[in-house]
Structure 1
């Protein structure tokens, strides 16, 4: 059973309060490696490296990385409407989304310090094998130090990271709307973070 972040509320500093929310959910995933429960540092950003207002996260995630393999028979094919159960960003959990891509690869949660001087990010979900420099084809172990080539967030590309956990579930890019903002090709959501639309 893979453990995720536990919900924290961090209260306040001079003249106001800052609230950071992280998810708490246990997930059955026989293919995922065990991950230690971790807490999010006080970074001023929302869960898993995404800021509460999405100001640092691009609205268009861009194309899938080179070399990634499209899933031959995904549970949710491209164009399928689904409901997200992940809460990587504010407004994501429960949002209706459309599958923009489905891929077979290894997917990792990572902790890293941004190259732009930002505060450390803990348990960022997700990056895929093809977004790690010189990662090869084999699944990397928890604790492995890697260099990120993903640019989901400022300061991510080129950052040294540590793998917290991994899975070989089908991983998806999704289009969805949350908090009045349209996100296209959002990377990444694993199959266990999706349910069929009603």
Structure 2
């Protein structure tokens, strides 16, 4: 009986060891900052929200290169980015609980004005509760969020290869002008 129990225990441990994390080098890893801790399923898309205005004279032109100075996702900080899009809008830092469950995401950078339900002409204020239309992270679309800060700025979509290695991340949303520098 003890031998059967020991063999069964070993078999279960072997089976469960195959259920661990698998390596995925497409920006789906544990993040470098609290803005995405425990919630790192980036969903890249070239789609931009309806009504989003292209920036008239962005510091970083579409097609140019820049260096990313902030680490929203693993391997972002210090990565060379190709500018895929440049838009004028209000960018928000906010906290929300994913619709897929799990821990509340604190200090998420960035959701833009056009990615919030019933966004009128005026920017949302600190402390306001909103419903997200953004879907660039799993569990974001439809989530209730609280605005922590707002910044009128140029936001960029960027393509970059993580400094940690792996495949190129395409159309990462969003990086603000202050988070980029000349290459």
TM-score normalised by the chain length of structure 2: 0.78
User: In proportion to residue count, which structure has more helix?
Assistant: 2
**Structure 2 residue aligned with 1:7:** none
Residue deviations 1:138-190 (CA, integer Å, cap 9, x gap): 11111111000001111100000000111112111101010313111100000
Q: Do the aligned residues in 2 keep the contact of 1:118 with 1:155 (CA within 8 Å)?
A: no
Q: Where do residues 14-93 of structure 1 align in structure 2 (5 Å cutoff)?
A: 45-46=30-31, 47=33, 48-49=35-36, 56-58=41-43, 60-93=44-77
Which 4+ stretches in 1 moved above 6 angstroms? Answer: none
Task: Name the Cα RMSD after superposition.
Answer: 1.6
Given that 1:51 and 1:57 are in contact with CA atoms closer than 8 Å, whether structure 2 keeps it comes out as: no
The answer on whether the counterparts of 2:42 and 2:137 sit within 8 Å (CA) in structure 1 is yes
Structure 1 stretches lacking a partner, 5+ long: 1-43
- 1:138-153 matches, within 5 Å, as 138-153=122-137
Do the aligned partners of residues 112 and 45 (structure 1) sit closer, same or farther apart at CA in structure 2, a change above 3 Å counting?
Answer: farther
Aligned residues: 151
Q: TM-score, normalised by structure 1?
A: 0.72
Q: Max radius of gyration: which structure?
A: 2
- Distance in 2, Cα, partners of 1:134 & 1:165: 18
Deviation per CA, 1:10-67: give whole Å up to 9, x if none. xxxxxxxxxxxxxxxxxxxxxxxxxxxxxxxxxx952312659x5x223x33311111
1:132 maps to which residue? 116
Question: Which structure would you say has the larger RCO, counting Cα contacts within 8 Å and 6 or more residues apart?
Answer: 2
Aligned to 2:22: none
Q: 3-state DSSP class of the match of 1:161?
A: strand
Closer, same or farther: CA 163–45 of 1 in aligned 2, 3 Å: farther
